[in-house]
Structures are given as C-alpha cells and as structure tokens.
A = this chain, B = another copy of it.
Amino acid sequence: MNIKYPDGSSYDSNHNSLQNNSDQQKKKTIFGDRGMTLEEEINQSNDYYRIHDIAVIYKKPVPLQIVKVDYPKRSKAVVKEAYFRQPSTTDYNGIYQGKYVDFEAKETQNKISFPLKNFHSHQIEHLRSCLKQNGICFVIMRFSVLNEYYVLPASILIKYWDLQTSEGKKSIPYTVIKQNAIEIKPGFNPVLPYLAACDEMIQKLKESPHG
C-alpha cells in the first residue's frame, strides 16, 4: 500500500515560502518537541488513517505551470522551467466513512487572533461550494506560540471572511476560535487526531442540519 503521497519532501516547504504571505513563511518552522512542520504532522496523520482504513485523505500536489521540459536520452524527463500557480482549492481532501472531507491547514505566530491574510479568496469560494454539497469542511489552525491546534468549521471562517468587506475585519479573534472550534491535542497515533473533531462536526450536523 502506498502511504507516502505527497511524501513531505522539501518542495512543499519551498513552495509555501514563496507565497505572498508573511504568516505562511513561518510554516517552515520546525516544531520544538517533534521536529515536524504542521504539514508533516497532517501527512503523517493521514498515513495513519489510511493504513488503518479509517479515512483516505491526501494533500494535493502543488500546481505548477510547466513551460519547458527536456527529454535527455536514456534518462528521465526534466522540467527546466515552471512557475508556481495559485491553487484554486484547499490543500487537502478525501473520504472519511463515506463523507467528503475538505480542509486547509494554516498556522500563525499571532496569539490573540488568526489573520485572514492566511487564506486566498479561491480557497474560501471552494469551501463555500463544498459546504453547499454537504461536505465536511474546516481549517486546521495552529497557534504556534501557544502550541495549540484547532479544527474550525469552514462556516465560521467564511463568516469572518465576509465581514472583511462589511466591517473591515482582518482576523478571527482567538476567543471566537475558542468558542467555535474544536481543540485537537497532538498525540502519537495519529500525530494529529483531527478526525475526532470531524466526528463532533458530523454529530452536530445530524442534530441541527442547517445550523
């Protein structure tokens, strides 16, 4: 069974640091006690979920616009010129017990709020569309200074995103996240047990389908 996709190799962190997003550059930070980036933690958790037939969730490859490819004789084709493109969707999607799961993962150094500049409008529109189709949509947020992880339902992110225009909000207050998100405590198997938070979200949807 292939469980290493994407394999967490360096190109992703390279790519992340290229985006016009000062907050995202900090993704390369190696977390003190485990030596893993948030992306690596999620990839490892997805490997765990996949091996144990719990869920099939992958990070999507980074989209590139390929301009020039060389085909050297007797060796592999080499891309010689390519440019990073802005993804139109979130980074992660898959299936969990028959349900479609879609999420983005972001972290901040901020302690009192989560800046909305961490997100692109394409990602928000994608989450909005997936919610309409009854997907389980959320953001895994890490407050890196506090070393706290949250699963925030996409509906809250979208609500604050829309308030940017009407009320000029630039971030989601930490208190709002505390009230509306589900905290995840990092563990070992899996490293980041975020599907437990999905269970809570699925349960809430059953109780109040339009809440």
Name A's B-contacting residues (CB within 8 A). 1-2, 4-6, 9-11, 14-15, 18, 50, 53, 55-56, 58, 60-67, 69, 71, 76-84, 87-89, 93-100, 102, 122, 125-126, 129-130, 132-135
Contact = CB atoms under 8 A, between A and B. Distances in A.
A61 B58 contact: no
A98 B89 CA distance: 17
Given A60-B60, A64-B11, A125-B2, A95 B84 contact: no
A64 B62 contact: yes
A18 B75 CA distance: 12
Given A5-B87, A89-B58, A95-B100, A66 B15 contact: yes
A88 B5 contact: yes
14 contacts: A1-B125, A4-B88, A10-B66, A11-B66, A14-B66, A18-B77, A53-B133, A56-B130, A61-B63, A61-B64, A78-B82, A79-B83, A95-B135, A99-B100
Contact of A97 (B15, B99, B133): B133
Contacts of A97: 133-134
